[in-house]
Structure 1
């Protein structure tokens, strides 16, 4: 790409959360070792990386020789791997967990808070412990109940809810958090003529609350957000070859993915015709939409890789920031090069991984502007405490 400037890192005062967590884990192990052992470990890692880089070069040369003897070049479908997709939830704790485990922890956390603050906590339970569709329908119905009382305080029909009512049964009764909210808002259950009703009384509203405040809380409560953890790993060339993409990266279940792949295979077999550009683009879009996350690996001249997990809609600038946070010299200017599109430029910074088709996985090459990478084959660019993470892989 023309008119390309190297990435000029902004001044950083401290590590990113992801790099700090990774470095802390390494440093915890280092504290029990003396400096001599620490330096020996680093030397061993660098030496191993160099040996593997040389072996990789020989394999590449042999492969190139084979390719030159054939007229057709085939590109292998390489899938990369990590242990899964992990998240942070600062509101709950400083743990790093898969989404399924966070759902359980968030639910436990909210129910623990329920006894001391029923009104506001029940709003969060509705949003976080039910499906999005059920939560939305429930909230609409609860808003209507409260607005009717606020706007027509003397109308007796609005102060009573028949629990066998179809709308109440379908949209409120069995939604987690909904009955707790109604109790906090001043409703209590009674039996009349062998039927259950919820009756509203101002005296029953949770202490310190009123209907307008509860209505506002109901309208503004939302899901507790999870932050995607980069799950930074440091890999040797041999480790970068042992790869498989986990199911968490897909929007579909493994069965749905298998069906989709089978349909595509059948479509190709049944229609071996020239496709228009629009047809090819539609097919590509359908494939890309299968993925929720992308695995990004950055390869350094000495053969070491760093690896991080990204949402497919995160920006290219986020990749540069991850790399910068891992460098021993965070002020160093550098380029990242894609095998398909060349250097990632300033114009690419606000584009997403999805926009540039860097999904579900990509290997980017790290380079120094105006320099040949072979000049840095013995150079380690990473923080030494991060380099030690390679031992835990």
Structure 2
């Protein structure tokens, strides 16, 4: 079979053209992938922003509910105080009427006409001795803890440690009311001073629990005959609430 000569051009640009097209195609794919990632990142960022907005709204709503509850408790307390004051005034009026009837009877005078009212000046003089506020132990303790947290709001760790220490004191007495060592606190104890004594409101809270200063203000002491389990349970509940409620002490009424 005879050989046939074939002219092959090794410098043909075809191979170069294919390689260049592949590079362009690869770059195009990379550009598309980059744009796709940008779109996805923007989408994720919008989603995260929506979640942040929703979380902020939830937090605002939770704060609003807490403020509303605090306000309702305050209004209920004020209403109760007004009712107590009203009952006290009515009781005084009745007592004045009764005393006047007795005086007229002793003097042999006829009963006074119902249209005559008791002396306003005398009524005011009597009512000035009445307390205008009747705050429960729980409310006093709550306000004491609020004050402690507000006075040291820049040191949350120290406030929490104070609450925890007070809870330990209260819990030890509630569990072991007959143990005097749990009912006697040396005021000069450095640990006590660091955790409770140096914080405004700390010792006041213990005094609300029944502790008294004794022996030249060297000790805080709770006499065994003044151990009130109901009061200690109330103190424990208020301390736990102060430790678990993130808005405790931040809302004012």
Question: In which range does the TM-score fall when normalised by the shorter chain?
Answer: 0.3 to 0.5
Q: Give the TM-score, by structure 2 length.
A: 0.40
Which structure's CA Rg is the greater one? 2
Q: Give the TM-score, by structure 1 length.
A: 0.27
Question: Which structure ranks higher in relative contact order (CA pairs < 8 Å, sequence separation ≥ 6)?
Answer: 1
Larger proportion of helix: 2
